[in-house]
Structures are given as C-alpha cells and as structure tokens.
Amino acid sequence: MAEFRMPSLGADMESGTLVEWKVKPGDRVKRGDLIATVETVKGAIDVEVFQAGVIEKLLVEPGAVVPVNGLMALLRGEGEPEPVSPPPAPAAPAAAEPVRHLRASPAAKRMASELGIDLGQVHGSGPNGAITLGDVQAAAVGAPPAVPPPAPRPRPVDAAAAMRGAIAAAMSRSKREIPHYYLATDVDFGRAQSWLEQQNVKRPVTDRLLPVALLLRATVVALAEVPELNGTFTDGAFHQSQTVNLGVAINLRGGGLIAPAILEAQRLTVSELMARLMDLVARTRSSALRSSELGSGTLTVSNLGDQGVGLVFPVIQPPQVAMVGFGRITHRPWVLDGHVEPRPVVTASLAGDHRVSDGHRGGRFLAAIEKLLLEPEKL
C-alpha cells in the first residue's frame, strides 16, 4: 500500500488546505495524474501523484488543513491484491471500524459503529471539521448534513497579506542563511536580436519568440558548463541536480510573486521554452499550477527588463544556490572592432551562494552566457 502525502510546494510552506479531491476510492491513477487541489498561501495548486495504482482510501476531507508530509490518501499499487474484506461477523457491528486519521467525536464514532456508517463518507461540521453526533445522525437518515460543505475554495481572509508573509519568510531566510555574492556582465545582444527577427518573420504572430526565450536557453546551456550553480543546499550540503528545473519569477496581478519551475528545461529548445513559459505565466495567473512545478526549482531567473530595470540584484530562493537576473535590453554605445556604435545591450547578473561556489565560477557562468548569446544560432 502506498501513501499519498501533502507535498511541499515551496520551502516556506508548512501546511495546505485540501480544496477538493479529483479522484475517488477505486479510481485508477498513473504517475503525473492530478488527484487533488490544495490551497496554499500562494494560491490553489493542482497536486500530482507520483505513483501508479488504485485509490484505496481518501483520509482527509475537503477543508482540512494538512501539514506538509501529512498523510492524505492510500493507494494500492498495480498488482497489489485488493484487501480481503472480512466476512461480516454475525450480529456484530463490523461495518464501520472507527476510521483512523479522521476527526470524529467519541460519541459520533460510537454511533457510526452502531449504525454501520462509514465515517469516511460523513461531512464533519464540528470544531476543526470534526464529525459530530449530529453529522452521523444526518448521514444515518440520508439527509444532507446539518451544515452544507464550505465554499469550494476557502481563501485565507487576506490572501495578499498571506502571500506577503510567505515571501517575507522565504526571503528573510535567504538573507539570513545564504552568503550572497553578486556579479554582472554587459552582453551585446545585437546578434541575438537579429537572429530572433529572422526567426519571427517565419512565425505566426502568436508564436513569436521573445528575447526572454533566448536568455532562458542561454542560462540553461551555461549551467552545463558551471553545474555547481544548479541544485539545492539542504542539510548542510550542496546537492547538484542532474536536470535543470528552471524557476521563473512571475509577478501576480494582485501583488506578490511566484517562481514556478519549467521542469527538465535542459531538454527544451528555444521555441519550446517560449511555449512553456507562456503556459506557465497563464497558469500562474489563473491559479492552476501543478505541485511539481513548485518547490522543485534548481535555479531561478528573474527578468525585470520589461520594467525598465537596468541591473537586477537577485535574492536567492532557498534552498537553491544561485539566481540569475536580466535587465532591460537597451541601445548603448558599444566598442566593436575599435569603433563605437550603438548596440542592444543586456546586463546579466548573478547572485551566488558563497557556501557552494565562488566568484571565479560565477564569472565563468556569466561569460558562458555572453558567449552563447553571441552565437544564438547554436542555441
């Protein structure tokens, strides 16, 4: 029997509120299926299952606040035999064992046991969602429970304040624990811009590539050269990641930001990165992120160019160990072959975790980005 537990959707998450189950007992699920929606301070997230099997039992009710890693459901693996239900004992209330992990009052449990009611199917209206005697009585007569289920998406009273609190916690931790060093390099973006223009002529308007796609691609490729910027620092040690889950800082319209990750970005072309980024932005703003996209980033990029910012000093998202910033692409005087000429220039910056890497390696990383952007066709 496999267990499905509340995932950590970010280093700052302590618990989540189950909004709804998208599956019911008996449903067959495969790896990656969305099985629940969970509300966090960063919005409602669709949560995936990482194991194939059959849903055996849902252990928490919508509305329940479940701590990270708290048990939520049981899955029966493929090929695992169905549990043999014991033959009903004669004249004994065998039907409803008190269900573990369910909050029910002692009186409710006893009555459910006497009446043979499955508490897993009863809505709890008592303190902290506990099932009360009245709920069991209501279930017994088949009537709806005395209190209707709550609105499907219980947002915190002040979602913006909660989000701000979550950001504050994560960023305070970052500045407290991570010794940041900062580097920046100006990059001639002229060839990259020409290449983009050539590409976009061939594309429909809706599929046009934006400069950010090239910047993301250059970042991913440069990581292959300096892999010690890609990973997490946990339990006092750096863990280098084999894949690049590229976090992208996305501003929310209501304030605050989220940095969900483009998973396995090292496999994606420029064009695919563009499509994934657009999809991610749209889903972030409509609160339809997947659990695997949160808390799994291995390096994050903050692109504040469209805000007119020249140089970004990023604050690393713990437990990651580096963050890359890109400023505005703007025409500046640039010396090329002994002549000054106006060229589109972008400033790439890096915040690195000094526990893991040094300025020397960080410099190589920025140099790699510059070299890649000078040869965009190779990206």
> What is the contact surface with another protein in residues (CB under 8 A)?
63, 105-110, 124-130, 132-134, 146-150
Name the minimum Å distance from CB 132 to another protein.
5
What is the Cα–Cα distance from 106 to 88, expressed in whole angstroms?
Answer: 23
Angle formed by the axes of helices 190-201 and 359-374, to 10°?
40
328: which 2 tokens? 């505005």
Name the minimum Å distance from CB 148 to another protein.
8
What is the Cα–Cα distance from 145 to 139, expressed in whole angstroms?
Answer: 7
Name the minimum Å distance from CB 124 to another protein.
8
Name the minimum Å distance from CB 150 to another protein.
4
- Burial of 90-117, coded b for 16+ CB within 10 Å and e otherwise, reads eeeeeebeebeebbbbeebbebbbeeeb
Residue closer to another protein by CB (options 86, 127) is 127
Residue closer to another protein by CB (options 127, 338) is 127
Residue position matching structure tokens 């280098």 = 240
Cβ(276)–Cβ(269) below 8 Å: no
Name the minimum Å distance from CB 96 to another protein.
15
Residue closer to another protein by CB (options 124, 352) is 124
Residue closer to another protein by CB (options 133, 367) is 133
Residue closer to another protein by CB (options 131, 323) is 131
What is the Cα–Cα distance from 185 to 170, expressed in whole angstroms?
Answer: 27
Name the minimum Å distance from CB 109 to another protein.
8
Name the minimum Å distance from CB 153 to another protein.
13
Residue closer to another protein by CB (options 131, 265) is 131
Residue closer to another protein by CB (options 92, 201) is 92
In degrees rounded to 5, what are phi and psi of residue 367? -65, -35
Nearest Cα to Cα of residue 72 among 80, 82, 87, 61: 61
Strands (E), 163-316: 180-188, 231-234, 237-240, 246-248, 250-251, 257-258, 261-262, 289-290, 299-303
Name the minimum Å distance from CB 129 to another protein.
6
Nearest Cα to Cα of residue 346 among 305, 301, 299: 305
Residue closer to another protein by CB (options 122, 324) is 122
SS (H, E, C) 51-93: CCEEEEEECCCCCCEEECCCEEEEEECCCCCCCCCCCCCCCCC
Residue closer to another protein by CB (options 25, 93) is 93
Alpha-carbon 354 to chain mean position:
26
Name the minimum Å distance from CB 103 to another protein.
10
